[in-house]
Amino acid sequence: MSGEVKWQHVPVDEVLALLETDREGLTAEEAQLRLSKYGFNEVELKKKESSIHRFARQFASPLIYVLLLAALVTFLLREYADTSVIIGVVLANAVIGFIQERKAENALESLAKMLVPETSILREGQRMIVPSRELVVGDIVLMETGARIPADLRLIHKKNLRIDESMLTGESTAVEKYTDAIETKNLPLAERKNIAFAGTLVTQGNGIGVVVATASDSEIGKISELIKKTKQLSTPLVRTIDNMGKNLAVVIILVAILTFAIGKFRGLGTLDLFFASVSLAVAAIPEGLPALITITLAIGIKKMAARNAIIRTMPAVESLGSATVICSDKTGTLTKNEMTVRKIYTDEGVFSVTGLGYESEGDIELNGKKIDPFDHRALLETLKAGALCNDAYLREEGGIDGDPTEGALLVSASKAGKFYIPRVDEIPFESEKRFMATLHQDNAGNSWVYVKGSPEIISKLSSMQFNGKDFTRVEPEKILLVAEDMASEGLRVIATAYRKLERGKAELEDVDIDELIFLGLQGMIDPPREEVKQSIFKCNNAGIRVIMITGDHIKTAHTIARQLGIRTEGALSGSDIETMTDEELIEALRSVSVFARTSPEDKSRIVGLLKQEGEVVAVTGDGINDAPALENADIGVAMGRSGTEVAKEAADMVLTDDNFSSIVNAVEEGRDVYGKIQKVILWTLPTNAAEGLAILAAVLLGFAAPPLLPLHILWINTVTALGLGVSMTVEPMEKRLLNRPPRPQKEPLLLPVIKRRIITVALLMVTATFLLYIFNINNGMDISTSQTIALNTIVFFEIFYLFNCKSIHENVFGQMFSNRYMLLGISIVIGLQMFITYNPTMNMILRTSPIRLIDWVVIIIITSSIFFLIELEKYLQKMRHNKQIKK
């Protein structure tokens, strides 16, 4: 019914006429008719997918297909223990994915809870309480302090009405509301001051509004639609591993088929060839890799939690590490969400105020020097006026109760001392008058009125100005010029004045608010967090761009951005964004990093265009207005303290301290996690490839007894993955991670150096093992002992190569013993190898035999060569790289 009418532009009587209602409300029959026609006032959730279908979909991955094939193969080989391990890994990954996919539904369910269960309305002139879900367009809603708005309302009456819209607009202070139509077009939500939005909270006064939009037509409903339309995209790591899984599956199947074909050509038996091909697949498939990656991510999650970042989805750890852009909300994330007075103007001069937030610590300075407020009477009276004409309270334990602006005035006054004169009457703040006045009377009956409000109004109501000693004629132009200078610095400016009244005055009248004595101006701002500037410097150093997207005023946003060191060429408002094409906005995004007065659609659009340009985007936010962008980002970061449940459910990560600096810590951890995953792959794939090549070589050379039995391969894969591979996941963090640029999104997980090393290491391992095996056989050693030596040779190759993998590019001589878990794992693996080599029972089970001391010496000499060769290769590569840089 409400259609596309811009209700903020329509006068009240015309609104009522268009909605076919009046100030008495709808009739019960008409309300029921509209409810039947347009439906309930509730956020519609996505149609839920069945749990069985969602769980089954977790298996749709190439790497999972390969693992399931490996499970089938090991089952056919009657290696049931290995089958169980592989199935366990597959099921663990499926459960993790299943849990992750619940987050979008939870976000919508939390959004639905923002709508209040009941509300007070007028029907046929009678006040009644009805379920909010039964509200319809045209209903007349009654509002009072503490009430949450049940639908989008066009205000038709108000009295001192102020509404907290921070969860929707990002504004840090409650918004004054009025009823007049607004002529200005393309207004952002924060400036539609004759509209009350669903889900927002009345903090002061009362009012009456007519419902103009319910359910999905309301602003909160539009956000739910954006969330539902947002596609759940995989992270860079997931996409990379998926591609790697596809490639591995193809290669392994082709090699297995090739092995079978070559064997048939050489005249080998079909059954033997089948099991040889199956053994090759089992050897080549890195069945431990998903588990090792999961462990690496899990450890990263634990370390991030210790640094105040709670990860809700495992791949988000790496994704944040590869972020190129962080789109941050301002209020409460980059700033403290605590208004703070920074400048005070009186006729004595312009004073600076130090200190942050709602703490009384801090000084007042003039010309850079600390002063005593009692030496400056005009300043003292200005502070007194701000403290007395005030409805907020400072808590003993810290913080305030009441409006943040009034809290800031109390804090600035507290830097001079305590001011108290009993209040006997007041004129509350009203948007039409734009001032508040309080009447005070001491024990002797002396009466004063203190007034605060906009500089324009207070300067007009004043006839004189106090300069600390006497009174001079007020100069409104001078005052407004100072106020404008303060506003250009992003400060919100409050003016104060006073007047002494006749003794015994007990009631304020309009005539008392005239011929005032102007005292001064106080300019305040929601200050930046002290540690954020350093964090943004780190981001700049790490090649990560920080973009501020806020619902706050454009001048305030730009000022805060400059103070924090955010690199930007100007700022754009939401109304600017609305008029721009995607191409124009993309061009603007190349230089502009501050966006103010934005809507949820604007924020989500910016994120989408950044991703379209190839950026890996992290988005921070705390309000329901941030939920679509949090969903749309590569990684969404919600605030744990101030964040709504909607934002938390839509996010991939929650900051327990609401601190932007914790994101930088998470970036560092994410880069470390990705590096460890590369190291795990660097160690896993060459060793698996060597085992597979050993089977292939045995078929090619026509060996009746290969150097490794399928049973040996399964043993090696199980023992080394647990004893060696897991230790790589707890490798200490490399230094200077934040001095490197972000990893390009299209950079393959398998870097050229990793591919080269896979081939080098695999060929070296299989060649040395085969030559040693042939040498032993040709010198009369029995097959079982020769196979035992080959088995231990492969394991010790993996041990020595593990040290090489502590760094992909750097030599590791100085850090070989930095990971005590690695040393413990190596000791356990060596102990197990001794056990299966010399224990009679294990000899029977694994078909191994005891070997001589000289055999161990030969194994150590041969296998240790891999360590020195790889370190030599690193050294030569680094020398070559340095020469290229010099050129």
Q: How does pLDDT run across 805-820, given as a tens digit for each residue? A: 999 888 988 888 899 9
Q: What is the mean pLDDT of residues 589-602?
A: 88
Domain boundary among 173, 204, 229: 229
Residues 6 or more apart in contact with residue 396 via CB below 8 angstroms: none
Q: Are residues 711 and 639 in the same domain?
A: no
Q: What is the pLDDT of residue 653?
A: 84
Q: What is the pLDDT of residue 271?
A: 60
Q: What is the mean pLDDT of residues 152-162?
A: 88
Q: What is the pLDDT of residue 187?
A: 78
Q: Are residues 690 and 705 in the same domain?
A: yes
- Cα–Cα distances in Å, from 518 out to 81, 343, 758, 819? 86, 17, 80, 70
Question: What is the Cα–Cα distance from 357 to 423, expressed in whole angstroms?
Answer: 27
Confidence of residue 225 (pLDDT cuts 50, 70, 90): low
pLDDT tens figures, 764-796: 999 999 999 999 999 999 999 999 999 999 999
Q: What is the mean pLDDT of residues 121-149?
A: 86
408-419 burial by CB neighbour count: b if 16+ within 10 A, else e?
bbbbbbbbbeeb
Domain boundary among 637, 665, 693: 665
Pick 543 or 223 by higher pLDDT.
543
Confidence of residue 112 (pLDDT cuts 50, 70, 90): very low
Residue 289 has pLDDT above 80, yes or no: no
Q: What is the pLDDT of residue 373?
A: 92
Least confident of 406-410, 589-593, 710-714: 710-714
pLDDT tens figures, 303-319: 887 788 887 766 677 67
Contact between residue 491 and residue 343 where contact means Cβ atoms under 8 Å apart:
yes
CATH number of the CATH domain containing 682: 1.20.1110.10
Q: Is residue 863 part of a domain?
A: yes
Question: What is the Cα–Cα distance from 421 to 658, expressed in whole angstroms?
Answer: 38
- Cα–Cα distances in Å, from 619 out to 250, 608, 733? 37, 11, 25
Question: What is the Cα–Cα distance from 853 to 825, expressed in whole angstroms?
Answer: 23
Q: What is the pLDDT of residue 644?
A: 64
Q: How many domains does the chain have?
A: 4
Contact between residue 433 and residue 312 where contact means Cβ atoms under 8 Å apart:
no
Q: What is the mean pLDDT of residues 266-288?
A: 64
- In the residue annotation, 329 being an active-site residue is answered as yes
Residue 715's Cβ-count burial label (10 Å; 0-12, 13-18, 19+) is buried
- Average pLDDT across the chain, whole number: 82
The phi and psi torsions of 124 (rounded to 5 degrees) equal: 55, 40
Q: Are residues 498 and 629 in the same domain?
A: no
pLDDT tens figures, 54-104: 677 666 655 566 667 767 766 776 766 556 656 765 676 567 556 544 543
Least confident of 44-48, 79-83, 467-471, 798-802: 44-48
Q: What is the mean pLDDT of residues 221-244?
A: 58
Confidence of residue 832 (pLDDT cuts 50, 70, 90): very high
- Cα–Cα distances in Å, from 430 out to 204, 437, 509, 541? 11, 11, 15, 48
Confidence of residue 591 (pLDDT cuts 50, 70, 90): very high
HSE-CB of 574 using CA atoms within 13 angstroms: 23
Q: Are residues 389 and 517 in the same domain?
A: yes
Contact between residue 19 and residue 153 where contact means Cβ atoms under 8 Å apart:
no
Q: Is residue 88 part of a domain?
A: no
Look up residue 819 and give its two tokens.
Answer: 């990971």
Least confident of 20-29, 131-140, 315-324, 351-360: 315-324
Residue 231 has pLDDT above 50, yes or no: no
Residue 277 has pLDDT above 70, yes or no: no
Q: Are residues 630 and 744 in the same domain?
A: no
The phi and psi torsions of 843 (rounded to 5 degrees) equal: -60, -40
CATH number of the CATH domain containing 196: 2.70.150.10
Confidence of residue 428 (pLDDT cuts 50, 70, 90): confident
Q: Are residues 246 and 129 in the same domain?
A: no
Q: Are residues 597 and 708 in the same domain?
A: no
Owning domain of residue 494: 340-525
Alpha-carbon torsion (650, 656, 659, 664), positive or negative: negative
Question: What is the Cα–Cα distance from 840 to 846, expressed in whole angstroms?
Answer: 10
CATH number of the CATH domain containing 455: 3.40.1110.10
Q: Is residue 720 part of a domain?
A: yes
Residue 21 has pLDDT above 80, yes or no: yes
Q: Are residues 476 and 609 in the same domain?
A: no
Q: What is the pLDDT of residue 326?
A: 93
Q: Are residues 491 and 547 in the same domain?
A: no
Q: Is residue 778 part of a domain?
A: yes
Contact between residue 161 and residue 206 where contact means Cβ atoms under 8 Å apart:
yes
pTM, two decimal places: 0.63
What is the dihedral angle through the alpha carbons of 660, 662, 668, 674, rounded to the nearest 10 degrees? -100
Pick 598 or 324 by higher pLDDT.
324
SS3 call for 222: helix
CATH number of the CATH domain containing 655: 3.40.50.1000
Q: Is residue 435 part of a domain?
A: yes
Q: What is the pLDDT of residue 272?
A: 62
Question: What is the Cα–Cα distance from 722 to 737, expressed in whole angstroms?
Answer: 27
Q: Is residue 44 part of a domain?
A: no
Residue of 139, 217, 329, 626 with catalytic role: 329
Q: What is the pLDDT of residue 362?
A: 87
Pick 487 or 749 by higher pLDDT.
487
Q: What is the mean pLDDT of residues 676-696?
A: 83
Look up residue 13 and give its two tokens.
Answer: 């009587």
Q: What is the pLDDT of residue 186?
A: 75
Q: Are residues 445 and 555 in the same domain?
A: no
Q: Is residue 52 part of a domain?
A: no
- Cα–Cα distances in Å, from 710 out to 261, 267, 456, 694, 832? 20, 21, 88, 11, 18
Q: Are residues 481 and 548 in the same domain?
A: no
Q: Is residue 51 part of a domain?
A: no
Question: What is the Cα–Cα distance from 665 to 539, expressed in whole angstroms?
Answer: 10
Q: Are residues 423 and 467 in the same domain?
A: yes
Domain boundary among 633, 665, 697: 665
